[in-house]
Amino acid sequence: MKPRFTALKGVADVLPPETGLWRKIENTACLVMGAYGYEEIRPPVMEQTGLFLRSIGGSSDIVAKEMYTFTDKGERSVSLRPEGTASIVRAYVEHNLSSRPAPQKFFYSGPMFRYERPQKGRQRQFYQLGAECFGIADPGVDAEMIIMLMAFLDRLGLKGLSLELNSIGCKECRPAFRERLREFFAPRLGELCPDCQRRYEQNPLRILDCKVERCGEIRKGSPLISETLCQDCREHFTALLEFLDVMGTAYVFNPHMVRGLDYYTRTVFEVKGGACMGAQNAVAAGGRYDLLVSEFGGPETPAIGFAAGMERLAGLLQGEAVTPGPALFIASLGKEAAVEALKLASRLREGGTRVELGWGGFSLKSQLRRADKIGAGNVVIIGEDELKSGSFKWKNLKDGSSGEAGREDIFAQFSQAK
């Protein structure tokens, strides 16, 4: 049999037991971020196309060639969101959330869409879990958010992650840096890779994180953004590092790190995973975006946020995905016994005990075999004899112990099991 339909390229079903991992990740995020005062926000997955043009930047690849954009029946250009921040900022402005006491803190989780060639750690429909904090410019907020992110990752049990950060300046000092970079690379423009020659025109900062070895050599001795930062940006970044030092949060200052989205200002950061992730090894990334809210028509509002890739987090937790078996399996022989089994199961299930039934009128042996296969902890057998005597046999499949007990005793015995 061939399936008549298959999933689209670059979209994937998340199946059990992996969905358990996803549940764990979201629950952990809710728990950890809740302690930091973050509340969940659920924006729509589609928006006016213009929202993303303005926020992410028309020159970025995301907008230029990766958006799922279509015209709806009202002749409006609509896009599936390629990232989360734009929608949250739109909601913040639209609902006047600046009138609530600052800071306003939100987290979200859901699917994002980018029309890219899939590869390891990258899908066309992918899931991000992120957080945004509005209204406070203090570098302590940057530190707090980064510490929260690391606490979240730590709580998941992830090891061997590295936090990198940098400051890319503000609208005052970044243009000057771009020019200094251009001046530096101009004499050797011809030696750069074709991509970097393009970057030279479009976004010279990107030359700094090119992976081509030759480009890496050419950029040795290039100007560093840290040398070009204005006084305010420099103080902001220094204060952030001091907070992290005090809190014992390990980080790597990466003066070459650049972020892809146009709206970032000052602090940018990225958490990288191990080599097992392939080329797409960033599990989370974010930064400050102090201009975006006013750009969207709101009051001047400093803000900072991050997003983490669910598939990438789940990938790092691979191997932990297991579905535990039911606490109890009730095997029954005959219709009357099946009814009795269903009644007992229903009572136990009301109390939260996971119970499976041996439907199908199979032999006792096959029912027990199935109980074993699905990893049941215990089995209760109900047959003609048990119906007659009112005493059910039970057996622990893990240690082999067994016994007999009346209906109510059985109920009591397993009502605490999960």
Q: Could you list the residues that contact RNA (CB under 7 A)?
A: 1-2, 6-10, 12, 60-62, 66, 83, 114, 116-123, 126, 128, 195, 199, 206, 210-212, 259-261, 270, 278-280, 282-285, 307-309, 311-312, 333, 360, 362-366, 368-373, 381, 383-386, 393, 395, 397-398, 400, 402
Nearest CB to RNA, comparing residues 288 and 370:
370
- Least separation, in Å, of the C-beta of 225 and RNA? 16
> Amino acid identity, residue 386?
E
Measured over the CA atoms of residue 169, residue 175, residue 180 and residue 186, the dihedral's sign is positive
Cβ nearer to RNA, comparing 102 with 405: 405
How far apart are CB 278 and RNA at their closest, in Å?
A: 3
Of the pair 178, 234, the CB lying nearest RNA is at 178
Would you say 30 or 161 has its CB closer to RNA?
Answer: 161
145 touches 33 (CB < 8 A):
no
Residue 9 pairs in a beta bridge with none
Measured from the CB atom, the residue of 9 and 418 that comes closer to RNA is 9
Gap between the Cα atoms of 149 and 305, Å rounded: 10
CB of 285 to RNA, least distance (A): 3
Return the number of the residue (324 or 351) whose C-beta is nearest RNA.
324
Whole-Å CA distances, 208 to 142, 214, 218, 417: 24, 12, 10, 57
Smallest gap from Cβ 231 to RNA, in A, equals 28
Q: How far is the CB of 62 from RNA (least distance, A)?
A: 6
Residues 6+ apart with CB under 8 A from 104: 92, 97, 98, 133, 134, 135
- Give the span between the Cα atoms of 376 and 383, in whole angstroms: 19
SS3 75: coil
Q: Is the peptide bond before 17 cis (omega within 30 degrees of 0)?
A: yes
Sheet of 378-382, strand order: 355-357, 328-332, 378-382, 391-396, 402-406
* Category of 378 on φ-ψ map: left (φ > 0), alpha (ψ -120 to 50) or beta: beta
Q: How far is the CB of 114 from RNA (least distance, A)?
A: 6
344/350 Cα distance (integer angstroms): 10
Q: Give the 3-state secondary structure of residue 113.
A: strand
Q: Min. distance of Cβ 261 from RNA in angstroms?
A: 5
Q: Which is nearer to RNA, 100 or 159 (CB)?
A: 159
Give the nearest distance from C-beta 96 to RNA in angstroms. 27
Distances (CA, A) of 170 to 145, 175, 269, 292, 305: 20, 9, 15, 12, 16
Q: Which of residues 248 and 400 has its CB atom nearest to RNA in the complex?
A: 400
